[in-house]
Amino acid sequence: MKPSQPYPSLRIGALVGALVTTALIAVFFLAAQVAGTPFVPFDVFDWMARVLPGAVITFGIDIIVGLIRTFQLGETSGTAKLAEQIMAVVGLGLTGIVASAVLFEVLRRKVVNVPPTFAGLIAGIVVGMPVTIISITGNRSAEASVFVSGVWIMLAFVAWGLALGWIFQRLTGQLQPATATDTLAAVQPIDRRSFLVQLGGATAAITVVGAGVGSLLTRRTSSAAPVLMAESTPMPTEERIAWSANNSLPNAADTLVPAPGTRSEFTALDLHYRIDINLQPPVVRENEWTLNFSGLIDEPQQMTLAQIRAYEPIHQFVTLACISNSIGGDLIGTQRWTGVSLKTLLADVPYQPNTTYLKISSADSFDEYVSLDLIMQDERVMLAYEWDGLPLTEEHGFPLRIYIPDHYGMKQPKWITDIEFVAAWSEGYWVRRGWDRDALMRATSVIDTVAVDDLVRVNASQFVPIGGIAHAGDRGISKVEVRVDDGEWTEAQLRQPISSTTWVIWRYDWPFEAGDHTFAVRCVEGNGIPQIEEVAGVRPSGATGIDSVRESI
């Protein structure tokens, strides 16, 4: 029995791989929603993002962010996360396709002479083993235990491999010795085609059910976490309401009305950008969490969240920006942070005098170094547990994150678990990947709106309200200027900022003039230093250059 086409080709191997792996991913998704097991593609993606060189990651992020901004696909950080999640799923799919094609080719060429199902089993183990290890060691968001997760992922991959082997066997007709002796060339293509159609139907059904049912069910953690928190930290109910719901901002009396279309001066929790190295935020349970002090300390020590909350709280209005925020970008937001000054807290931790830095580590294996001198000089450096008067959300670092004024977000770990007292500085997570070791915030100013539909009429003249934000860390903003086409730089009006560390809102009413115009903005820091106008990209030290927009009026 050696007909011309007895064995399925590489292409059929790839096709089968696509079908079966898609079903596998759907099953992983369903299990993640129903049983809280890890969603494997995300874990593999996160792992790759950690091991690949920083330049590769930055290049990839630049492309994603560039596409989002060019085609105005929406808010940058959320859209980028979605794009990465899609890449993660597609990536595992491609891996499955390649593995299946290789398996079929190995079997077709009889590189090894074993039954196809056995070869499939081996393939399942070969692919499943590293994936399982990556997932159970890296995952910080699944509810299922590491043991259950590991067994589940391994079994799923074994089933995937067995399915591939069985399908190969079925496609070669080995299960039908009667037809095998017939004129295979005539009988098999039809049989093969109809089998593939059936296979396509079966895998499509699994995929639709898995993805459909999975997306109807919300992940259990999102509803369970607040309940857990409520049980372990009894708090008066009024504290559960967002601070901003019942309070006005400290600068509320300022009479300057932002130009229509200017972003909100205070960024609502669900509108604040989110940037971190996780496709799903690590889930920390308050009753299993402590802040652990180690290193140059006589006795390692722990603090619970309740102990940290017991310190006199401080509240600070903070504008946080990501060093990856390009000129005019939306990776910047302003919130009210509540926590304890790190200086106050450290007074109760007997670290040794040769300490010079604190190594802060997080549940997602992120880390950064903070100078002890800075902590002692600047009482604003704080460990924060609330944004807008509510416990930090999972996305924004529950239960604890640090605030370090004047520095980009990359220096400020979320989901803090450990503080290690060390004698020497070392490179933190993003610094090791080629970003600025100090990461001081650059001065930046942005045009949010040229409000052509909201002309202001004063006597016989019409004005176009133009407005936006300007920010320079904790250095403040002393001046914002706007230029239209090749005209003069003209000073804009400034609102009082919410605090000395937040952005300011500016406004300029420009005498209306029909036509195509280019509007540009620049600012001067509180200390008199002008914003850097020379154009530089975000890497390694944060973007510089001035924001401009074109409008036909």
Ligand X SMILES: Nc1nc2c(c(=O)[nH]1)N[C@H]1C(S)=C(S)[C@@H](COP(=O)(O)O)O[C@H]1N2
Give whichever of 16 and 404 is closer to ligand X, judged by the CB atom. Answer: 404
Nearer to ligand X, 474 or 481 (CB): 474
Q: Is residue 277 close enough to count as binding ligand X by CB under 6 A?
A: yes
Contact assessment for residue 283 and residue 140, using Cβ atoms and an 8 Å cutoff: yes
The piece of 40-48, 154-162, 274-282, 337-345 that touches ligand X (CB under 6 A) is 274-282
Which of 152, 273, 317, 369 forms a contact with ligand X (CB under 6 A)?
273
Residue 448: which of ligand X, Mo ion, none does it interact with, CB under 5 to 8 A by kind? none
Residue 61 or 196: the one with the smaller Cβ distance to Mo ion is 61
Find the radius of gyration of the CA atoms of the chain: 29
Residue 364 binding ligand X, by CB under 6 A: yes
Q: Stretches 124-132, 257-265, 274-282, 488-496: which one binds Mo ion (CB under 5 A)?
A: 274-282
Size of the site for Mo ion (CB under 5 A): 4
The span from the CA of 463 to the CA of 490, in Å, is 14
Place of tokens 């595992």: 92
- Binding flag, residue 447, ligand X (CB under 6 A): no
CA angle 193, 194, 197 (to 5 degrees): 90
81 is a contact residue toward ligand X (CB under 6 A): no
CB of 130 to Mo ion, least distance (A): 29
Per-residue binder mask for Mo ion (CB under 5 A), 307-326, x = binder:
---------------x----
Q: What does 276 interact with, of ligand X, Mo ion, none (CB < 5 to 8 A by kind)?
A: ligand X
Smallest distance from ligand X to CB 399, Å: 12
- The region of 149-157, 177-185, 272-280, 355-363 touching Mo ion under the rule CB under 5 A is 272-280
Candidates 66-74, 224-232, 358-366, 478-486 — which segment interacts with ligand X by CB under 6 A?
Answer: 358-366
User: x/- site string to ligand X, residues 381 to 420, per CB under 6 A?
Assistant: ---------------xx-----------xx-xxxx-----
Give min distance, CB of 323 to Mo ion, in A.
5
What residues from 167 to 196 belong to the interface with ligand X (CB under 6 A)? none
Contact partners, residue 147, CB within 8 Å, separation at least 6: none
d(C-alpha 391, C-alpha 13), whole Å: 51
Choose, by CB under 6 A, the member of 46, 265, 276, 448 that binds ligand X.
Answer: 276
Using rule CB under 6 A, residue 275 touches ligand X: yes
274 near ligand X, rule: CB under 6 A: yes
Q: Residue 399, preceding bond cis, omega within 30 degrees? A: yes
| Residue 272 near ligand X by CB under 6 A | yes
Cα–Cα distance, 449 to 260 (Å, whole number): 7
Helices (H), 428-530: none
Which residues are CB-neighbours of 318 under 8 A, at least 6 positions away?
A: 334, 335, 336, 337, 403, 405, 499, 501, 502
Min dist CB 401 to ligand X, Å, is 7
Q: 274 or 522: whose CB is closer to ligand X? A: 274
Paired tokens of 337: 């942070």
According to CB under 5 A, which one of 134, 154, 275, 443 is a site residue for Mo ion?
A: 275
CA 200 – CA 206 distance, rounded (Å): 10
Provide the mask over 290-329, with x wherever binding to ligand X is found by CB under 6 A and - wherever it is not: ------------------------------x-x-------
Q: Are 508 and 523 in contact (CB under 8 A)?
A: no
Q: Of Mo ion, ligand X, none, which one does residue 362 interact with (CB within 5 to 8 Å by kind)?
A: ligand X
Which residue reads 């909201």 in tokens? 454
59: its two tokens: 């290049």
Asked if 43 interacts with ligand X (CB under 6 A), we say no
User: Is residue 409 a contact residue for Mo ion (CB under 5 A)?
Assistant: yes
How far is Cα 215 from Cα 207, in angstroms, rounded to an integer? 12
Helices of type H across 10-145: 10-35, 40-51, 54-70, 76-108, 116-138
Per the listing, tokens 């997602």 go with 364
Contact by Cβ (8 Å): 12, 199: no
Residue 201 makes CB contacts below 8 A (sequence gap 6+) with: none
Q: Are 81 and 127 in contact (CB under 8 A)?
A: no
At position 103, the amino acid (one-letter code) is L
DSSP calls for 291-357:
EEEEESBSS-EEE-HHHHHTSPPEEEEEEEE-TTPPTT-S-EEEEEEEEEEHHHHHTTS-B-TT--E
List residues binding ligand X (CB under 6 A). 272-277, 320, 322, 362, 364, 366, 396-397, 409-410, 412-415
List residues binding Mo ion (CB under 5 A). 275, 322, 409-410
